[in-house]
């Protein structure tokens, strides 16, 4: 995954950041914050003028991350992920609450739960839900319970906007841990 900084912020993105800031500054519980941020993100998805041409560029080898905004106090970041057909993440979880919305194309998400080791079995991941998200669809979550894998499931480029309750510019990624356990 590559990280770039935006050439500029569009007026529509500046408005979205302001709406997110208002929610985050309320200091609510992470799951409620994610829900309310998702409500603010949804109306902007699929609209023209949200991203610049450069912020819509993918990478031939892997999905590409464009950091669009990192709040100076580190309380949230807005990122565009650009996926070419078939590109996907590893199975992972996150450092903070997250909201994701599809701006263009379609993404498939496979969600997991961690089945801990027992006296007779090793720890493993159990698939719990397969979700296909299209333009305008939003999902949000807060750790724990945020283990998933995402892929571009369409034949064209897909772009999703992600809002994280952390400074992704400083951290380099929103991923807390990548899972290599066996999965069902």
pLDDT tens per residue across span 7-36: 468 999 999 999 999 999 999 999 999 999
65, 2 contact by CB (below 8 A)? yes
Better-predicted residue by pLDDT, 183 or 61 = 61
In angstroms, rounded to a whole number, what is the distance separating the alpha carbons of residues 168 and 71? 10
On whether the pTM is more than 0.75, the answer is yes
Cis peptide before 61 (omega within 30 of 0): no
Q: What is the mean pLDDT of residues 162-177?
A: 87
Angle, CA 14 vertex, CA 13 and CA 16 arms, to 5°: 60
Q: How confident is the model at residue 145 (pLDDT cuts 50, 70, 90)?
A: confident
- Classify residue 91 by its DSSP letter: S
Q: From 74, 56, 150, select the one nearest 110 (Cα to Cα).
A: 150
Give kind and range of the element (H or E) at residue 41.
Answer: helix 30-41
List, in sequence order, every residue forming a beta bridge with 132; answer none if it has no partner.
108
Q: How confident is the model at residue 2 (pLDDT cuts 50, 70, 90)?
A: very low
């Amino acid at each position: 995954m590559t990280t770039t900084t935006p050439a500029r912020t569009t007026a529509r993105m500046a408005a979205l950041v302001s709406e997110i800031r208002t929610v985050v500054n309320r200091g609510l519980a992470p799951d409620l914050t994610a829900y309310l941020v998702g409500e603010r993100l949804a109306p902007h998805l699929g609209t023209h003028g949200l991203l610049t041409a450069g912020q819509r560029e993918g990478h031939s080898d892997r999905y590409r991350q464009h950091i669009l905004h990192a709040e100076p106090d580190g309380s949230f970041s807005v990122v565009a992920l650009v996926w070419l057909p078939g590109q996907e993440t590893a199975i992972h979880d996150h450092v903070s609450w997250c909201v994701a919305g599809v701006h263009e194309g379609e993404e498939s998400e496979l969600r997991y739960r961690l089945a801990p080791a027992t006296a007779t079995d090793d720890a493993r991941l159990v698939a719990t839900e397969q979700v296909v998200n299209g333009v305008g669809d939003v999902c949000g979550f807060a750790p724990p319970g945020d283990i998933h894998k995402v892929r571009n499931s369409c034949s064209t480029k897909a772009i999703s906007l992600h809002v994280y309750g952390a400074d992704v510019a400083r951290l380099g990624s929103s991923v807390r841990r990548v899972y290599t356990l066996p999965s069902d």
